[in-house]
Amino acid sequence: MKGNIIRLENVWKVYQMGAVQVPALRGIDLDVRKGEFLAIAGASGSGKSTMMNLVGCLDMPTKGRILLDGEDIVEMSESRLSQTRGQKIGFIFQQFNLIPTLNALENVMLPLAFQDEDDSEARKISERLLKLVGLEDRMNHLPSQLSGGQMQRVAIARSLAVDPEIILADEPTGNLDSKTGGFIMDFLRKMHEDDDKTVIMVTHDLNLVKSAGRVAFLKDGMIQSIEKKKRGWAK
């Protein structure tokens, strides 16, 4: 069994709303193992988005510890955390988050630029990834010239640009038709099974959790249960 790549220990996230404190997460304990496919599921308001931001090291806990490869992210400087996150985690967002003034190729190259990759090598990597997701004929198209499914495939290629250990997918099929959504889920499974990526998917769709090896169910900011599935378990 492989070790943990992310560990949450008694993690709380409390928001200050005027004079009132609103806890979004309450005492979360969770291990994410290297090479597994983990789904975080729950209804709207359960704390999924907050947990995604914390698991993805985009936000800091109010209390508790978050360990990324054994290092407490709270103890990292902002610049080191940004660099580490950029190297280890690839993000796929429901709203795609593509830069509208950049074409598909340039959007995929962007994370490589942040990691100071050579331009010619970044272009080669990005072209290969766009071909991998079937967009070799859309490389020079702006996001406004692409369908929702094509934009999500660009977002997937971008998430893989730095060859991260972890892919974090936030409702990855939420804005897509069923056929395109099926392609996205098949691709995530392929990345997990063939390339040994750790996949963490946040979703409210119980049909999607069938792809995961484990599912953590959230309610009212707490983990209600963790279920182990047959497929997707760490190799």
Report the 10 Å Cβ neighbour count for 14. 15
For residues 220 and 235, give the distance between their C-alpha atoms in angstroms, rounded to a whole number.
32
For residues 160 and 166, give the distance between their C-alpha atoms in angstroms, rounded to a whole number.
9
Order the strands of the 71-72 sheet from edge to edge: 20-33, 4-17, 63-68, 71-72
> In degrees rounded to 5, what are phi and psi of residue 100?
-65, -25
Strand, helix or coil for residue 167? strand
For residues 62 and 66, give the distance between their C-alpha atoms in angstroms, rounded to a whole number.
11
Exposure b/e, 174-201, CB count within 10 A at least 16 = b: eebeeebbebbbebbbebbeeeebbbbb
Q: Are 40 and 216 in contact (CB under 8 A)?
A: yes
pTM over 0.75: yes
**Quick one: how far is CA 75 from the chain centroid?**
22
CA distances from 166 to 18, 55, 163 (A): 36, 10, 9
pLDDT of residue 28: 96
Residues 213, 54, 198, 104, Cα dihedral to 10°: 120
Strand, helix or coil for residue 157? helix
pLDDT of residue 230: 61
CATH for 35-60+77-228? 3.40.50.300
Q: pLDDT below 50 — which residues of the chain?
A: 1, 232-235
